Amino acid sequence: MKTRRAKIKSSGAIQEALSGNIYCKIICGDSREELPKINESADLIITSPPYADARKKHYDSMHPDEFAEWMFTFSDPFFNILNPKGSFVLNIKDRIVAGQRHRYVWETVIGFQKRNWYAIDDYIWYKTNPMPGYWPTRLRDGWEYCFHLAKDKKPYEDQEAVKVPIGGWTEVRLANLKGKSAQRHDSENKSGFGRDLRNWVGKTKVLPSNVIDLPLVGKNYGHPAVFPTGLPAFFIRLLTPDNGLVIDPFGGSGTTGIAAINLHRNSIIIDNNEEYCKAAYDRISKEANLNGTRMIKEGF
């Protein structure tokens, strides 16, 4: 595994990193105000903001027409806290408004591109257990976006860290390549695509696709919109080095903190709701593989 450390400005954090220990800091406050106070730069922001017009009982939310403009108020604080090769992963889903899909999610991502972010790729979180129900014009909603944005066209990526086993087919298929299989083969339909099976001989791992299969979280963590730990974990592996710094500026129940600690990354979890900060602190302390991690509370 590559071991590039996040650019760390504060001497406390340097001591922390050098000692081999990591920290998880939970901050209660508005992330637009808290991020500029942080004297470190991060490798990754991974987060799921409040969805438009959802969970009004639980926390602030805005009309879909206003969502993109609201998200843009976070653009500078997010951009400024990341190191030059850093990434921002935005997990989000649009809503049905007046019978059709509102496109505030697309407006948001296009707006971020206009604000100097590169849109590196669109990942899909495929929910293996979507909510049951009946909708006259739609089927069960089984996926959400994870947009990978970055400050540079070539952000830090450790693709080795997310590779998956190539699968048993190779032993049979590649054992004795003959004829067309033993040379480059261009597509029959003249699409310009081609393949050369010889490139796969001896390989045991391949890149996964940009569709991430994970079930919805069934457990009650004192928060209404928890994402599965596997979601931030996937992007932390791909987009941060060991000992790096991950920030979740809409931290909720602290899922990103758990994923970061378990993967030996430092983390800062920010939420403007004190109850959620307390719940996140308790949950992380109980569930994460702390192993010497320093837990820090701020503002609650």
Ligand X SMILES: C[S@@+](CC[C@H](N)C(=O)[O-])C[C@H]1O[C@@H](n2cnc3c(N)ncnc32)[C@H](O)[C@@H]1O
Query: According to CB under 6 A, which one of 226, 233, 246, 261 is a site residue for ligand X?
Result: 226
If one counts every other C-beta atom within 10 angstroms of the C-beta of residue 123, the result is: 21
Whichever of 255 and 293 has its CB closer to ligand X, that residue is 255
Q: Which residue is nearest to ligand X (CB)?
A: 252
| 127 three-state secondary structure | strand
Q: Residue 47's closest CA among 175, 159, 148?
A: 148
Q: What is the DSSP letter of 253?
A: T
Interface with ligand X (CB under 6 A), residue total 21
Site string for ligand X, 46-85 (x = CB under 6 A): --xxx--------xx-------------------------
Q: How far is the CB of 255 from ligand X (least distance, A)?
A: 3
Query: Does 30 contact ligand X by CB under 6 A?
Result: yes
Is residue 26 close enough to count as binding ligand X by CB under 6 A? no
Query: Could you say which of 31, 75, 108, 240 contacts ligand X (CB under 6 A)?
Result: 31
Q: Pattern 237-256, binding to ligand X, x per CB under 6 A?
A: ------------xx-xx-x-
CA distance 59 to 72: 19
On whether the CB atoms of residues 264 and 285 are closer than 8 A, the answer is no
Residue from 21, 41, 273, 285 touching ligand X (CB under 6 A): that is 273
d(CA 119, CA 189): 31
Please name which of 117, 120, 92 lies closest in space to residue 106, comparing C-alpha atoms. Answer: 92
Q: Can you tell me the distance from the alpha carbon of 117 to that of 110, in angstroms, rounded to the nearest whole number?
A: 9
Contacting positions for ligand X (CB under 6 A): 30-31, 48-50, 59-60, 223, 225-227, 249-250, 252-253, 255, 270-273, 276
